[in-house]
Structure 1
Amino acid sequence: MPKKNIYLILLSLGTALWGISFSVTKLAVQESSLYIFLFYRFSLATVILCACFYKYFKETSSESLLGGVKLALPLTAGIMLQTLGLKYLPASQCTFIAGICVVMVPVLKWGVYKMSVSAKIWIASLVALAGLCIISVSDTFTINQGAIYTILGTFGFSMYLILVEKQATKGNIITTVVPMFAACTVLSLCFAVTEPAGSWVPANNNFWMAVIYCAVFTTAFMYTVSMMAQKYIPAERVAIIYLFEPVFGAIAAFFILNEDLSWRLFIGGGLILAATFVAELNIKNMGFRKGIRTNKIS
């Protein structure tokens, strides 16, 4: 089986794991410090990855170290902001808002790297924006601060996807995995120490179960697979594979957190899913995809 197809399967599996992680994380940070939670999550993931990729240490160069740090900045910001959003917003809503990265990636490529974007992507962006407004804006026309945090986190994650694609063209992406998560650990530690009231050893089983689940499945496994996959799959296609993450996330929130699936979630989430389908239907002919093959990001 071609490597591209193998990574497509692994990414699809990871999408389900990722969707479930929103509910698992919400249980962990409801009564505990999210920064301490992220510190443990990244620390354990780094240890696991060191054990898995130790043979690549001798291939790690200063460029790999620097590349890992550069990737860690938007990734840490994205995860941190989305986790913060979970404190104020239902997990089911967070998963759908996070889904707008599908249309955000190509739009950011257009804005940052001047790559052309087809009309369908702009239409998809408007449809996704409409869905986002239905989910995020209340009857009194106010926006929950959790929605703002999640949107900003999605922006950070979208930038991370684009930078991973850029880094993958420079050499062996595996050598940047451990430095990236080590940098994420340090960054989260810097925030964790600013919370003097936070408990470093919470007496909460949900906290430790979430640390293990997120470190193993959604951090060490999923982010490594997504990074390696982008050597064979463009960033916007990777984002589209994440299409069903909100679906798994909403189902998990219903069963794990007993969250109500409101009409806003169904209509707004449906529009966001429709927007991603619009992007997927046109992906083989989109101008920005063509640009990826002809224009190297510098």
Structure 2
Amino acid sequence: MPNPRQTTTLATLGLLAMTAVWGSTFVLIKDVVGRMPVADFLAVRFLIGAGVMLALFARPVWRLGRQQLVRGLLLGALYGAGQLLQTWGLALIAPSVSGFVTGMYVVFTPILAVLLLRRRMPAVTWLAVALSTAGLALLSLNGLSVDLGVWLTLASAVLYALHIVGLGQWSRPGEAFGMSAVQMLAIAAVCLLATAPHGPVWPPDRNAWLAILYMALIAGAGAMLMQTWAQSHLPATRAAIVMTTEPVFAAAFAVLFGTDVLGWRMLVGGALVLAAMYLVELLPSRSDAAGAMQAEAIHHEV
């Protein structure tokens, strides 16, 4: 049985894998939404993900208590609204600006944790937030005009931060399957409502279907399951900082597929985000070491 430190490391690695998958979807999303409406794309994507998760995890959903069921639906509604606002905002602003503004959830998460949960944040956490924000700016920001698209995207970042804080507070290790399925159902419902009154338009061709299936099953259902499980073992702010590696992975895939060129901004920005993640990874190790030394000192005194 893994000890708490090993479980925390596995949760961090799981979030990293999840953000790598998210980073791989940028090119796919840009192609698909160029050929079908945004809300319809999201509705089809999350309907597929929700259907698969409910088929696989009907029993864990049934075992959820009423309170956890309501919490899962609320968290899914927050995430679904965030997806719609982010994608609508992306239609009005440059993708680079959208990436930076969306990544501001790394700033909103600790602020909301302090305001809503009355939690004190160590100084090293605020340092990690500052480093990751600077890294995001270098990776994706080439100018910022505060128009409607920016405000929509900023609102989505607040909703994502609320989702991260809520998930960190409410998720339980033994309920990850059920909570993930319920969240996916709520996300699908929110996106489906956004296609009213005509209902969703289906993907236009085979390539669009393949892209949507990948994003529904791997980047949707699989990622939600991983995030729900990982956040039952990680503080919300730490999870948010780890998840800021998404634009690093997105940039890496862009270079790998030849759609972008490796430059100093990409290198320095990526290094700052990774440094922030290293800080939040190092903090528990130092706390564990300090606790062990304190315990040893008490043992010697006795």
TM-score, structure 1 length as denominator?
0.78
For residue 42 of structure 1, report the CA deviation from its aligned partner: 1.0
More contact order relative to length (CA 8 Å, sep ≥ 6): 1
Per the alignment, residue 68 of structure 2 pairs with 64
Alignment of 1:116 with 2:117, yes or no, is no
CA distance in 1: counterparts of 2:206 and 2:114, whole angstroms: 45
For residue 236 of structure 1, report the CA deviation from its aligned partner: 2.6
Per the alignment, residue 26 of structure 1 pairs with 30
For residue 130 of structure 1, report the CA deviation from its aligned partner: 4.9
After superposition, give the CA deviation of every residue in 1:40-60 in whole Å (9 maximum; x if it has no partner).
111111111122212324313
Contact 1:108 1:159 in 2 (8 A): yes
For residue 229 of structure 1, report the CA deviation from its aligned partner: 2.2
Contact 1:107 1:117 in 2 (8 A): no
**Comparing 251-260 and 181-190, the one that deviates more:** 251-260
Contact 2:68 2:179 in 1 (8 A): yes
Q: CA RMSD in A?
A: 3.4
Matches within 5 A, 1:257-272: 258-259=259-260, 271=272
Per the alignment, residue 249 of structure 2 pairs with 248
**Comparing 125-134 and 108-117, the one that deviates more:** 125-134
Q: Which secondary structure does the structure 2 equivalent of 1:13 belong to?
A: helix
TM-score, structure 2 length as denominator?
0.77
Q: Which secondary structure does the structure 2 equivalent of 1:209 belong to?
A: helix
Q: Match for 1:142 among 133, 145, 159?
A: 145
Q: Match for 2:171 among 163, 168, 172?
A: 168
Contact 2:46 2:184 in 1 (8 A): yes
The amino acid of 2:218's aligned partner reads: F
The amino acid of 2:157's aligned partner reads: T
Contact 2:11 2:230 in 1 (8 A): yes
CA distance in 1: counterparts of 2:102 and 2:169, whole angstroms: 22
CA distance in 1: counterparts of 2:286 and 2:29, whole angstroms: 38
Per the alignment, residue 177 of structure 1 pairs with 180
Alignment of 1:52 with 2:56, yes or no, is yes
For residue 227 of structure 1, report the CA deviation from its aligned partner: 0.6
Contact 2:128 2:241 in 1 (8 A): no
CA distance in 2: counterparts of 1:253 and 1:170, whole angstroms: 35
Matches within 5 A, 1:53-92: 53-89=57-93, 91=95
Q: % of aligned pairs identical?
A: 27
The amino acid of 1:109's aligned partner reads: A
CA distance in 2: counterparts of 1:121 and 1:8, whole angstroms: 16
CA distance in 2: counterparts of 1:105 and 1:114, whole angstroms: 13
Q: Which secondary structure does the structure 2 equivalent of 1:210 belong to?
A: helix
Per the alignment, residue 42 of structure 1 pairs with 46
The amino acid of 2:194's aligned partner reads: F
Query: CA 1:120–1:254 in 2, change beyond 3 Å: closer, same or farther?
Result: same
Q: Which runs of 5+ in 2 are unaligned?
A: 288-302
Q: Match for 1:192 among 167, 191, 195?
A: 195
Query: CA 1:268–1:251 in 2, change beyond 3 Å: closer, same or farther?
Result: closer
Contact 1:26 1:87 in 2 (8 A): no
Alignment of 1:201 with 2:189, yes or no, is no
Per the alignment, residue 111 of structure 2 pairs with 107
Q: Which secondary structure does the structure 2 equivalent of 1:26 belong to?
A: helix
Query: CA 1:149–1:268 in 2, change beyond 3 Å: closer, same or farther?
Result: farther
For residue 64 of structure 1, report the CA deviation from its aligned partner: 3.1
